[in-house]
Amino acid sequence: MQTTFTPEQLKDPGIQRSNEILRSCVHCGFCTATCPTYQVLGDELDSPRGRIYLIKDMLENERKPDEKTVKHIDRCLSCLACMTTCPSGVHYMHLVDHARAYIEKNYDRPWSDRALRWMLARILPYPMRFRVALLGAKIGRPFARFMPDARLRAMLEMAPKKIPPVSRNDDPQTFTVKDKKMRVALMTGCAQKALNTDINDATIRLLTRFGAEVVVAEGAGCCGALTHHMGKEKESHATAAKNIRAWAGEIDKGGLDAIVINTSGCGTTVKDYGHMFRNDPLAEDAARVSAIAMDVSELLMKLNLPEGADKGTKVAYHAACSLQHGQQIKTYPKDLLKKAGFTVLEPADSHLCCGSAGTYNLMQPEISKQLKSRKVQTLEALTPDIIAAGNIGCMMQIGGGTDVPIVHTVELLDWATGGPQPPALTAPGAHQPKVPILRVAP
């Protein structure tokens, strides 16, 4: 794609990077075949190619964003399926992130949009605030249908029936092991700590069982993804910087073999810290952190978990977009589950988004519900005993539309190697696996 940025414009690092990305696009349109919003809406401007044209025009002309441009960019899920499909290697993620930051600085949103975004940015990244908000939403959930705004209804409907108690495993500490093979830091996250504490608990048990000393670093918290994808660079960089300082301190103090992340949406962002902070005084530390960031499935492949007997339990694996497209990790979770003895099934639309996408299901509830309905149908068509996923947002989204229990991949691997049965499988009314799990001794 030909661009006409001036030498003065190209002095801006963001414009310089966007120019590189725009020039790599050859207009082929392959991205439209795998774009969920294009599949649902059928509008060229709701495809990556269409959005690229809008972004190019906006940035080149230093144009104040108009309602049309903002609408179509806001509808983007950032699922990054287009990056998997693109034969030219167009790095759409960096381009749309830049566009969102530009819009945030230059577009005057309606007051209701500003209020919603302000509220989400100041609640979701903070576990205790989020817990209080979830409690309020739980109380207000019966009245959701009376809410005039679809986004407010979506927020109330998202509230889980049960809010788990705080897990002390998420406090800063070190989980030591006798025969230490490695030392890793676990990112405990933000929203996940309020929505589901079983995931971090299972991760710690599983890693320590196979020789990894696990550190929960003082000062680490939200990865910044939620605000980053709203274009709020100041807020996202502030929370990311806390993580970088915390983990760089652990690297300097005792060394780290990996920074382990069990929420793939966070993992995609942490792995991009090197780019996000490339012109920041923290650039060197950010690059060190990104270099050793790993999805939990990547680390578990290195730990060589034992092979389990066939359990006769059918697990439908949902591939989170941030994992399969954002991090290009496609087989590890399935390989691990198969090795543990589970029968792994995949839905026909495994490459398409479930509609969660961070705050997308709250800000674009109509589109999100269509994607959720399709994803639930294709998963249930497999008649699984359990659904497994590697991202809390996907778990909440899909779990709200099916009676089949949904758990994190690490919960099943923990269970198969000596840990407790995932609480989601023992909850009252839960759909039980047909065959009990046979534990495998480490």
Residue 389, number of CB atoms within 10 A of its CB: 27
pLDDT grade for 18, boundaries at 50, 70 and 90: very high
One-letter amino acid of 398: I
Residue 144 has pLDDT above 80, yes or no: no
**What contacts 281, CB < 8 A, 6 or more positions away?**
none
Report the pLDDT value the prediction gives residue 441, as an integer from 0 to 100.
40
Report the pLDDT value the prediction gives residue 435, as an integer from 0 to 100.
43
Report the pLDDT value the prediction gives residue 151, as an integer from 0 to 100.
77
Query: What does the block give as tokens for 189?
Result: 């996250």
pLDDT grade for 430, boundaries at 50, 70 and 90: low
One-letter amino acid of 131: R
Give the residue-averaged pLDDT of 299-325. 93
Report the pLDDT value the prediction gives residue 290, as an integer from 0 to 100.
97
- Dist. CA 266–CA 358, nearest whole Å: 10
State if pTM tops 0.95. no
- Condensed to tens digits (0 to 9), the pLDDT of residues 214-240 reads 999 999 999 999 999 999 999 999 999
- Condensed to tens digits (0 to 9), the pLDDT of residues 286-305 reads 999 999 999 999 999 999 89
150 vs 318, more confident = 318
36 vs 158, more confident = 36
Give the residue-averaged pLDDT of 182-209. 95
Residue 428 has pLDDT above 90, yes or no: no
Residue 335 has pLDDT above 80, yes or no: yes
Give the residue-averaged pLDDT of 194-217. 96
Residue 163 has pLDDT above 80, yes or no: yes
Residue 68 has pLDDT above 90, yes or no: yes
Q: How many residues does the chain have?
A: 442
- Condensed to tens digits (0 to 9), the pLDDT of residues 78-132 reads 999 999 999 999 999 999 999 999 999 999 999 989 999 999 999 999 999 988 8
Report the pLDDT value the prediction gives residue 133, as an integer from 0 to 100.
84
Give the residue-averaged pLDDT of 195-205. 96
Report the pLDDT value the prediction gives residue 13, as an integer from 0 to 100.
94
- Condensed to tens digits (0 to 9), the pLDDT of residues 358-416 reads 899 989 999 999 999 999 999 999 999 999 999 999 999 999 999 999 999 999 999 99
pLDDT grade for 429, boundaries at 50, 70 and 90: low
Report the pLDDT value the prediction gives residue 234, as an integer from 0 to 100.
94
Mean pLDDT value across the chain:
92
